[in-house]
Structure 1
Amino acid sequence: MKISVRNLEPTKVKLTVTVDPEEFDPYLDQARKEIAKQVNIPGFRKGHVPGAIIDQRIGFAAVAGEAVNAGVPDLYSKALEEKKIRPMAQPEIDVQEVPESAKDETKLKFVATVERRPDIELPDLAGMEIDVPKAEISDDDVNKRLDALRQRFGTLVGVDRPATKGDFANIDLDAQIDGESVDSQEGVSYELGSATMLDGLDEALEGLSAGEETSFEGTLEAGDHQGEKAMIKVKVNSVKAEELPDLDDEFAQEASEYDTLDELKADIRKSCERDAEARQATDARDAFLAKLQEGLEIPVPKGVKADATAEHLKGLTADSDKATAEQKKEAEESAEKELRDQIVLDALAEKMEVQVSQADVTNFLASIAQQYGMDPSQFINAIVSNGQLGSAVQEVGRSKGLLAGMRAVTFKSEGKELDLSAFLGSEEEAEESESVEAASAAAAVADELSAE
């Protein structure tokens, strides 16, 4: 197989692959066998028709078409591996030449254009030190959690006064455009100051008492008239204030397993400390990735970036066509950072010679299924049948590469070395996993089961 590579862009290549007959013949033979299973030819048992008869009766063009469909993806993968090209998107493939008969010496030739991962040289990890902010908590952190716990045990009590921030108002809403009602809701409970409904509602309700009403202009955020200006009429049915329990031992006994308020506070402080340590580990990860990218030029594939930007934009606005310039900029910047991080993590996984096991992938997919409340077995089967197992293997590889890389460097905070083993695990645990070949073998079995 002859492979020529032409760089179109720093992150885009065109591969021209010319396949020798002896490499293409096995795909032709397999195509003949598959066709023989599907046709009835007098004088031959189904599935036992000689290849020459298949060529004669069915036509070599049909055989070659089947062989190309099966062989080109396989040959393309081999070409990528030989030329050390790491694709980041699906290729555009153009089959240019195919033999027209069994005796035709024309070689199969196809061109594949694909966006690729750029080649980057990561810094040496040996001796690398990274500073991370100290994991600190304050009395305010403890008090905020204590207040949140009090709110869970709070009660709403009706008050005979104007509504203010923090109160809960029961309201009726009627949205009108050109004097015609287009949407209305009754008996809605709304917390003043939460800003969870229409813009301008908080300001309109402030100072109103039960039985009073007002109107304001706002932009509808849902329904058939989403995005349109409307006159919003709002009526206050009742106003309730939140009454919180006293902070004492009795509250501690009701809200927790502890007998005293001091014991409850001590437990909350420990929880805050654990969360602060987790945030510190996240800061360490971000600082590590930033350190790896220092001084590196990392070009991002244009097509991949455009697709990623579109996905990020969906998370910022319900209608991408109406996105603001600021939203588009935010989506583009987020997509570019995400892709740069992925490129670095893929390179890091290779540098650390990471291996992905069958158990790694299964556990990864099972954890995702649990997060979404799905049956793990059904979720994994769906991933396999949709051809997404490769992406899962890649994600696991990135995660393992990141952990291995972070274990190889030293993190410090205020001059003292940090112990992040609780978050990074140990090298011994990583070495216990099976090889990526085991994961691939499991994928092949799963593919067969899905097909059946």
Structure 2
Amino acid sequence: MKTDVEELSPTRVKLTIEVPFEELEHAFDVTYKSLAKQVRIKGFRPGKAPARLIDRYVGRGAVISEAVNHAVPELYNEAIQKEEIFALGQPDVEVTKLEDNEELAFTAEVDIRPKFEVKDYKGIEVTVDNATVTEEQVDEQIGTLRERFSTLVGADRPVEDGDHLSIDLSASIDGEKLEDVAVSGYSYEVGTNTMLEGLDETLRGMEAGGEATFKTTLVGGEHGGKEADVTVTVQSVKVKELPELDDEFAQLASEFDTIDELREDVRKRMADVRRMQQLSAARDKALEKLIESVDIPLPDAVVDEEIDRRRQSLEQQLAQSGLTKEAYLESQEKTEEEFEEELKTGANSAVKAGFILDQLALQEDLSADQGELSQYVFEQAQRMGVSPDQLAQHLVESNQIRVAFTEVVRGKAMDVVLAGAKVTDEDGNVIEQEVVEASDEDAVEEAAKAAAAAAAEVSEDEAKDDKDEDAPKADDSK
């Protein structure tokens, strides 16, 4: 087999492959065996008809076409491996020469990952926010905890912001009562402004048993957008009573005996969270700097595919939340043009980051073993709220194991970058990086068992998967 490679651009190549017919012997053997099982020739059992009779029965041209369709994917994969080409996606294949018993020639155009080396990935300097926890922040967290243990008690006074009311509402338009716009015993906190415009202003100063009417524009429903007279009746007024901030509260709200112990635990937990936020921010900023330091061309088709994936993901999220794209853009204060530009920028960064981390993994000779893949499955399952074995099964059934494997390896490449980075906070303090061990060994073990078969499949068939991923299908041949 002879292969010539023409670089159409830094991200696309054209392979011209010429194969003597004698090298197609295996493809013809497979084709004859397949056709022999399909045809029925008198005097021969299924699968036993000789090649010359099959040629005569189905036609030599059909046999050659079938053999070529079988041979082209294997020949293409052999060529890209021999030429060390990192192909992306399916190639555009065209058979240019096909002469019986002489030669098969075809071309294959395919996007490729650009050739480059990651050089400046050690010693990246990044600055993250301070992790200092102030007394005011501890007070705020303690206050939130007190809110959870608060009680509502009746108040014999005019309504104020923050009061919790039980109210009845009714509405009318031009004196005609709206039966479908009425509610009784509705719990409402004054000052939140989460209902009708003008309601909070009307409620302030009222007392239990009081009634008042105000004009407002109805929202939603059959009468949405219409002005109506709304009558509100206050059934009860209650105020939130917080527990005293003492040792008794600490014992009620936690496993600690004193309020000082509770405060110290809150401070420690907040510091741990801040530290994790620091490391996460450091990781993101280090990747941003790495992306900025590497200048490589990106295949348009790969970027377009990432843009489409991101757009579809957002549309699914909006559909699930019941929002329209227009409402989303309004909430984000973005125009359609700004949204599209942001989508394109994000897709370019994501594709570029993937290329860089893949190359760095090659340079550092990184891979993923069964335990690491299992840990990934466990962590993803936790985020998704499913069991590890369910997620592992889904990955296998949807042919996403390779994606999981790639994500693990890219994560390890990013670990290399972060380990060599200099991370400091705003005050110049160096942030030490520690390896966080899995906190739930039983759950990790469950994930390991669930993902074992999938991980083994990736490890054993890695080379085969690379071939299958990039192989052109029979329908791609022209």
Same fold (TM over 0.5): yes
Q: 2 CA distance for matches of 1:260 and 1:293?
A: 50
Q: Which stretch shows the higher mean deviation, 389-398 or 402-411?
A: 402-411
Q: 2 CA distance for matches of 1:445 and 1:76?
A: 13
Is structure 2 residue 385 aligned with structure 1 residue 369? no
Aligned position for 1:252: 250
Q: 1 CA distance for matches of 2:167 and 2:348?
A: 45
Aligned position for 1:429: none
Aligned position for 2:149: 153
Aligned position for 2:434: 421
- Quote how far apart the aligned CAs of 1:7 are: 2.7
Q: 1 CA distance for matches of 2:272 and 2:123?
A: 28
Is structure 2 residue 115 aligned with structure 1 residue 122? no
Q: 2 CA distance for matches of 1:337 and 1:368?
A: 23
Is structure 2 residue 430 aligned with structure 1 residue 411? no
What pairs up with 1:15-94 in 2 under 5 angstroms? Answer: 15-20=14-19, 21-22=21-22, 24-38=24-38, 40-60=40-60, 63=63, 67=67, 70-87=70-87, 90-91=89-90, 93-94=92-93
Deviations along 1:81-135, one digit per CA (max 9) or x if unpaired, are 44444455x33534334747xx343415243343x44444423445555444442
Q: Which stretch shows the higher mean deviation, 400-409 or 277-286?
A: 400-409
Aligned position for 2:442: none
Structure 1: any 5+ residue segments left out of the alignment? 426-433, 447-452
Q: 3-state SS of the aligned residue for 1:267? A: helix
Query: Which among 386, 395, 411 is matched to residue 383 of structure 1?
Result: 395
Q: 1 CA distance for matches of 2:346 and 2:172?
A: 36
Aligned position for 1:230: 225
Q: 1 CA distance for matches of 2:65 and 2:218?
A: 61
Query: Which among 224, 241, 265 is matched to residue 263 of structure 2?
Result: 265
8 Å contact 1:170–1:190 — kept in the other structure? yes
Q: 2 CA distance for matches of 1:44 and 1:213?
A: 96
Q: 2 CA distance for matches of 1:306 and 1:190?
A: 44
Q: 3-state SS of the aligned residue for 1:251? A: helix
- CA 1:51/1:184 → structure 2, altered by over 3 Å: closer, same or farther? farther
What pairs up with 1:303-382 in 2 under 5 angstroms? Answer: 303-311=304-312, 313-314=314-315, 315=317, 318-320=323-325, 323=329, 324-325=335-336, 326-382=338-394
Aligned position for 1:431: none
Query: Which among 284, 287, 295 is matched to residue 286 of structure 1?
Result: 284
Is structure 2 residue 122 aligned with structure 1 residue 109? no
- Quote how far apart the aligned CAs of 1:229 are: 7.3
Q: 3-state SS of the aligned residue for 1:140? A: helix
Deviations along 1:406-428, one digit per CA (max 9) or x if unpaired, are 22344344555432123499xxx
- Quote how far apart the aligned CAs of 1:367 are: 3.0
Partner AA of 1:26 in structure 2: H
Partner AA of 2:460 in structure 1: A
Partner AA of 2:431 in structure 1: L
Partner AA of 1:372 in structure 2: M
- CA 1:38/1:391 → structure 2, altered by over 3 Å: closer, same or farther? farther
8 Å contact 1:15–1:112 — kept in the other structure? yes
- CA 1:130/1:154 → structure 2, altered by over 3 Å: closer, same or farther? same
Partner AA of 1:407 in structure 2: A
Q: 3-state SS of the aligned residue for 1:4? A: strand
Partner AA of 1:15 in structure 2: K
- CA 1:313/1:373 → structure 2, altered by over 3 Å: closer, same or farther? closer
- CA 1:263/1:4 → structure 2, altered by over 3 Å: closer, same or farther? same
Structure-1-length-normalised TM-score:
0.74
- Quote how far apart the aligned CAs of 1:139 are: 1.6
- CA 1:85/1:127 → structure 2, altered by over 3 Å: closer, same or farther? same
Q: 2 CA distance for matches of 1:113 and 1:281?
A: 39
- Quote how far apart the aligned CAs of 1:400 are: 1.2
Partner AA of 1:422 in structure 2: V
- Quote how far apart the aligned CAs of 1:379 are: 2.9
Q: 3-state SS of the aligned residue for 1:107? A: strand
Partner AA of 1:357 in structure 2: D
- Quote how far apart the aligned CAs of 1:217 are: 4.9
Q: 3-state SS of the aligned residue for 2:5? A: strand
Q: 2 CA distance for matches of 1:404 and 1:356?
A: 14
Q: 3-state SS of the aligned residue for 2:284? A: helix
Q: 2 CA distance for matches of 1:53 and 1:243?
A: 95
Q: 3-state SS of the aligned residue for 1:112? A: strand
Partner AA of 1:264 in structure 2: L
8 Å contact 1:215–1:231 — kept in the other structure? no
Aligned position for 2:95: 96
8 Å contact 2:87–2:110 — kept in the other structure? no
What pairs up with 1:159-308 in 2 under 5 angstroms? Answer: 161-162=158-159, 164=161, 186=183, 201=195, 203-209=197-203, 212=212, 216-217=216-217, 230-231=225-226, 241-300=239-298, 301=300, 302-308=303-309
- Quote how far apart the aligned CAs of 1:50 are: 4.2
Structure-2-length-normalised TM-score:
0.70
8 Å contact 2:124–2:286 — kept in the other structure? no
8 Å contact 2:196–2:218 — kept in the other structure? no
Q: Which has the larger radius of gyration?
A: 2
Partner AA of 1:112 in structure 2: E
How many residue pairs align between the two structures?
Answer: 420
Is structure 2 residue 405 aligned with structure 1 residue 393? yes
Q: Which stretch shows the higher mean deviation, 393-402 or 302-311?
A: 302-311
8 Å contact 2:216–2:227 — kept in the other structure? yes
Q: 3-state SS of the aligned residue for 2:266? A: helix
Deviations along 1:30-56, one digit per CA (max 9) or x if unpaired, are 343344445554444444444444444
- CA 1:373/1:17 → structure 2, altered by over 3 Å: closer, same or farther? farther
- CA 1:72/1:256 → structure 2, altered by over 3 Å: closer, same or farther? farther
- CA 1:245/1:342 → structure 2, altered by over 3 Å: closer, same or farther? farther
Q: 3-state SS of the aligned residue for 1:93? A: strand
Q: 2 CA distance for matches of 1:108 and 1:351?
A: 35
Structure 2: any 5+ residue segments left out of the alignment? 204-209, 330-334, 439-451, 466-478
Q: 1 CA distance for matches of 2:400 and 2:165?
A: 47
8 Å contact 1:358–1:442 — kept in the other structure? no
Q: 3-state SS of the aligned residue for 1:208? A: helix
- CA 1:158/1:372 → structure 2, altered by over 3 Å: closer, same or farther? farther
CA RMSD after TM alignment: 4.4
8 Å contact 1:252–1:260 — kept in the other structure? yes
Deviations along 1:181-223, one digit per CA (max 9) or x if unpaired, are 9x9785665666768x7xxx47543223375565655876xx9
